[in-house]
Structure 1
């Protein structure tokens, strides 16, 4: 079943990040994720705490119990909504390092270099990589806004569609690094992912689940890059090597 296979590809990333020759390329994406994700969550929960204290002061005493109801709702929204938005922003910053990690994972898995470019060429590619992240951000934001509005109009349907959209975006975000390393266009990448949607949604669902788990979410980014690259090697790379 493709959904299960997609999840397995993500979890294979945990083994890949420990492999000799890859660990040093994991360090920078991991450090960026820990610093940005960890610090932002700290300030976000501080802001939520202050906001709830303000709201609780405005409520009559007999409604003070609402604070206990608002906290779990807010935490769930943070874990499943903010995490996706933050992932897009963090990956914008970490794009060159994630792309390099994906390249090295592909080399580890196949024994073949993507190209023979040196470090200077990698630096020259940074504007293109950032432009690709901007394309993903432009793809994500209007759809996220639309699904978020629907979430309030039709809560049940909206929640289902929001989860599906989040899974899809995690797949797009992380599987795209290998495609982009091979200079494959964003539209073509989406078409390829749609051709095997079960893999994409399974992979994205696994990323979404672990992104919602405190502390584990700090290592999700490099794990997802590694797992997505293995998914690329097994399922899409042969198409472009023929």
Structure 2
């Protein structure tokens, strides 16, 4: 299997679907196991706990709705549930991604070699350990980008009616964009592409990329399916990198930085 030369014909839905196929490739499955195990343990436990608490949290949230808005209960209640699940899903998927980052980077590296027909790098535990400081620094860069924007969206929830209606929509769109950044970052970072350069490149295909991010975000909220979404998203994002962005940064087997010519 190699990357497609017709990347312009592929949208985010294509890469999401491709991710499900790529996790089952022979020779790739063994690199899926560790990020999958991290996600199953963390997300499985987190969502079990969430659904035991929703019965307490939602009535408490609804009790804060002004009496004169009680006629909107039928609308505010589902919005409240969706809001809690959205925030919870992204929070715990971020923690899972942080823990699994070294293994996700390894999965992306091996899959890229498979898709491009190159010899896979011989990466051992020591190589992963040496890369940990760089990997963790990159994860903190993503958090630094995410936190101030998330706080602004969180503040919207305190604006009666308008904020509580618009915030879940804006949060979902923002989460979709952050998903694109999160999972596409693995192949970009493997080639030492700066965080700023990566965001600029992804922004040029924002609509297609947001399709990919929206689907991953949606599946992150679905019990059972959310347990396997981490490696699926890494594989789909790596296929996207190979088709759309690799040629911008890798020429003749050498990594390049386009901002330096």
TM over 0.5, shorter chain: yes
Task: Work out whether residues 9 and 230 of structure 1, in 8 Å CA contact, stay in contact via their aligned partners in 2.
Answer: yes
2:84 is equivalent to residue 78 of structure 1: yes
2:217 is equivalent to residue 208 of structure 1: yes
In structure 2, what is the equivalent of residue 124 of structure 1? 130
Structure 1 residue 88: Cα displacement: 1.4
Task: Work out whether residues 180 and 213 of structure 2, in 8 Å CA contact, stay in contact via their aligned partners in 1.
Answer: yes
Give the 3 Å change call, closer, same or farther, for CA 46–238 of structure 1 in structure 2: same
In structure 2, what is the equivalent of residue 10 of structure 1? 16
Give the 3 Å change call, closer, same or farther, for CA 56–110 of structure 1 in structure 2: closer
Task: Work out whether residues 6 and 202 of structure 1, in 8 Å CA contact, stay in contact via their aligned partners in 2.
Answer: yes
In structure 2, what is the equivalent of residue 171 of structure 1? 180
What's the TM-score once normalised by structure 2's chain length? 0.80
In structure 2, stretches of 5+ residues that fail to align are 1-6, 64-71, 252-261
In structure 1, stretches of 5+ residues that fail to align are 58-65
2:149 is equivalent to residue 147 of structure 1: no
Which of the pair is proportionally richer in helix? 1
> CA-to-partner distance for each residue in 1:82-115, whole Å, 9 max, x for gaps?
1112211210111001000100110110122575
Q: In structure 2, how many angstroms separate the alpha carbons of the residues matched to 1:116 and 1:46? A: 44
Task: Work out whether residues 79 and 212 of structure 1, in 8 Å CA contact, stay in contact via their aligned partners in 2.
Answer: yes
Give the 3 Å change call, closer, same or farther, for CA 131–40 of structure 1 in structure 2: same
Q: Tell me which stretches of 4 or more aligned residues in structure 1 moved more than 6 Å.
A: 1-4, 53-57, 66-71
Q: Secondary structure at the match of 1:236?
A: helix
In structure 2, what is the equivalent of residue 101 of structure 1? 107
Structure 1 residue 205: Cα displacement: 1.0
Task: Work out whether residues 84 and 166 of structure 1, in 8 Å CA contact, stay in contact via their aligned partners in 2.
Answer: yes
RMSD after superposition? 2.9
Equivalent residues in 2 for 1:1-242 (5 A)? 5-51=11-57, 72-113=78-119, 118-153=124-159, 154-155=162-163, 156-242=165-251
Q: In structure 2, how many angstroms separate the alpha carbons of the residues matched to 1:169 and 1:232? A: 16
Q: In structure 1, how many angstroms separate the alpha carbons of the residues matched to 2:62 and 2:148? A: 33
Q: Which has the higher contact order (CA 8 A, sep 6+)?
A: 1
Task: Work out whether residues 183 and 237 of structure 2, in 8 Å CA contact, stay in contact via their aligned partners in 1.
Answer: yes
Structure 1 residue 21: Cα displacement: 0.3
How many pairs were matched up?
237
Q: Secondary structure at the match of 1:112?
A: coil
Give the 3 Å change call, closer, same or farther, for CA 74–42 of structure 1 in structure 2: farther
